[in-house]
């Protein structure tokens, strides 16, 4: 992309947007949301670079409102005169198309939500330096995965004057290492501050777990077991909970998973607290409309429901108060409070049971009763008397959040891990979570 550096100046986006706004008619309004990035993508296999790409891209989503009707479209943003000509062509077409659309009874009109600029630009080594260090450190193991690093931008501006800008610089190494039996251990090292010693410890821990994978796998019979879920597994649970579990709209429509918690028929464990906390700096507080969410919003506090995520559209429809969530009303920056379980006491406190490093294929099995299903993955072990005995064959579980974060919750670790979103379909995701590990007295496996 030519002049790619211009892409990362808020003034470029603001000047372009105001030029478009000047062409709007009296009964029209417009919100423009920018997603941009400058990213290095590197695919690794056997600790060698197999594919490398430097990506520069930007897209603008346009939310065009005329009267009581709305229409959205998306266009690439190249910071050139062509951007304006293409935008005006689409707006002229939208004026014709929108006439055939029904009125929107819950329309959220653009408002002035202030002007903010938030940039989290920590100093990082060059991409070459970070990548060389990773390859040198992993030269003796079969490491496969993705290393990505760069800058991400989210911004939104509307025709009534609001303008918000968010920019962050971060990296992640999302990898697995394999033994000769092609068994694997998966791990993630990520953040916005580079720590060579932390990466060494991360890979060393993966190598230790992989050495345990050389042992014969144990078949575990279905039933209930005492279980420890590592932070990466807990983060997967939160991902599922974001699919309607904390959404006001879903609960109003009867699709929510915490109906009994909402109606105060049930409580979770007093040890469990969950909040949307933007102090992580991994996601902007503003949504696509430019509405700014609270810096910290408690969702569940000491086992009791405090808030659902509520978009303004949901608020308009059901006459409730908005907390400026996104329209999909999922968590963008969730944080689970820590407990008292020390890292070096995990196996001792687990005693006999299962140590689960990762879960995958999670989905609701019965949304109304908050039941979900999924499978164990990668480095999961059978533990006896506080010692790892063997890896296990994959298991399917079916469990309820009322048990996982309620009756079965023994303790949470006294440390947390920051786990960023590593999705990269169309563009790099923003956001992430900070979660501890959890010790459970009872976890049900069905297959």
Using the 3D structure, point to which of 155, 179, 207 is the last residue of a domain: 207
- 234 & 199 share domain: no
Which residues in the chain come in under a pLDDT of 50? 1-6
- 393 & 349 share domain: yes
Residue 422 belongs to some domain of the structure? yes
- 387 & 441 share domain: yes
Total number of domains in the chain = 2
- 149 & 239 share domain: no
- At residue 8, the pLDDT reads 66
Using the 3D structure, point to which of 207, 240, 261 is the last residue of a domain: 207
Residue 337 belongs to some domain of the structure? yes
- 195 & 315 share domain: no
- 88 & 228 share domain: no
- 166 & 262 share domain: no
Using the 3D structure, point to which of 207, 239, 256 is the last residue of a domain: 207
**SS3 readout for the chain:** CCCHHHHHCHHHHHHHHHHHHCCCCCCEEEEEEEEEEEEEEEEEECCEEEEEEEEEEEEEEEEEEECCEEEEEEEECCCCHHHHHHHHHHHHHHHHHHHHCCCCCCCCCCCCCCEEEEEECCCCCCHHHHHHHHHHHCCCCEEEEEEEEEEEEEEEEECCCCEEEEEEEEEEEEEEEECCCCCEEEEEEEECCCCHHHHHHHHHHHHHHHHHCCCCCECCCCEEEEEEECHHHHHHHHHHHCCCCCEHHHHHCCCCCCHHHHCCCCCCCCCCCEEEEHHHCCCCCECCCCCECCCEEEEEECCEECCCECCHHHHHHHCCCCCCCCCCCCCCCEEECCCCECHHHHHHHHCCEEEEEEEEEEEEEEHHHCEEEEEEEEEEEEEECCEEEEEECCCEEEEEHHHHHHHCEEEEECCCEEEECCCCCCCCCCCEEEECCEEEEEEEECC
Question: What is the extent of the structural domain holding 174?
Answer: 4-207
- 155 & 52 share domain: yes
- 190 & 228 share domain: no
- 23 & 89 share domain: yes
- 302 & 437 share domain: yes
Residue 215 belongs to some domain of the structure? no
- 199 & 244 share domain: no
Residue 212 belongs to some domain of the structure? no
How high does pLDDT run on average in the chain? 94
Residue 218 belongs to some domain of the structure? no
95: CATH: 3.30.2290.10
Residue 214 belongs to some domain of the structure? no
- At residue 7, the pLDDT reads 52
Residue 362 belongs to some domain of the structure? yes
């Amino acid at each position: 992309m030519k002049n790619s550096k211009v892409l990362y100046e808020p003034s470029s986006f603001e000047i372009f947007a105001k030029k478009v706004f000047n062409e709007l008619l009296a009964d029209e309004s417009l919100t423009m949301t920018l997603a941009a990035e400058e990213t290095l993508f590197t695919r690794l296999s056997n600790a060698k670079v197999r594919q490398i790409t430097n990506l520069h891209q930007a897209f603008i989503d346009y939310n065009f409102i005329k009267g009581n009707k709305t229409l959205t479209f998306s266009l690439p943003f190249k910071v050139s005169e062509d951007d304006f000509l293409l935008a005006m062509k689409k707006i002229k077409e939208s004026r014709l198309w929108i006439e055939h659309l029904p009125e929107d009874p819950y329309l959220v009109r653009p408002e002035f939500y202030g002007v903010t600029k938030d940039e989290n630009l920590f100093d990082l080594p060059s991409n070459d330096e970070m990548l060389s260090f990773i390859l040198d450190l992993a030269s003796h193991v079969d490491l496969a995965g993705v290393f990505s690093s760069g800058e991400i931008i989210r911004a939104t501006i509307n025709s009534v004057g609001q303008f918000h800008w968010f920019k962050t610089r971060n990296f992640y190494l999302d990898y697995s290492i394999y033994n000769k039996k092609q068994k694997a251990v998966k791990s993630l090292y990520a953040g916005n501050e580079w720590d060579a010693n932390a990466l060494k410890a991360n890979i060393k821990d993966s190598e230790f777990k992989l050495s345990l994978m050389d042992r014969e796998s144990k078949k575990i019979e279905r039933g209930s077991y005492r279980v420890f879920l590592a932070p990466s597994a807990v983060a997967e649970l939160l991902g599922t909970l974001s699919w309607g579990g904390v959404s006001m709209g879903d609960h109003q429509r009867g699709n929510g998973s915490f109906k009994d918690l909402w109606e105060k028929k049930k409580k979770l464990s007093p040890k469990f607290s969950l909040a949307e906390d933007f102090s992580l700096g991994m996601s902007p507080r503003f949504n696509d409309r430019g509405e700014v969410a609270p810096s910290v919003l408690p969702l569940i506090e000491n086992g009791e429901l405090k808030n659902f995520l509520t978009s303004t559209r949901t608020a308009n429809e059901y006459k409730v108060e908005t907390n400026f969530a996104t329209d999909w009303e999922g968590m963008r920056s969730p944080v689970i409070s820590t407990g008292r379980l020390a890292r070096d006491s995990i196996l001792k406190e687990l005693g006999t049971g299962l140590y689960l490093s990762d879960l995958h294929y999670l989905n609701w099995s019965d949304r109304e009763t908050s039941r979900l299903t999924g499978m164990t993955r990668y480095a999961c072990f059978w533990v006896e008397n506080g010692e790892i005995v063997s890896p296990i064959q994959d298991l399917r579980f079916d469990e309820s959040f009322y048990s996982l974060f309620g009756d079965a919750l023994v303790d949470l670790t006294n440390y947390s891990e920051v786990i960023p979103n590593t999705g990269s379909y169309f563009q790099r995701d923003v956001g992430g979570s900070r979660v501890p590990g959890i010790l459970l007295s009872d976890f049900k496996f069905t297959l």
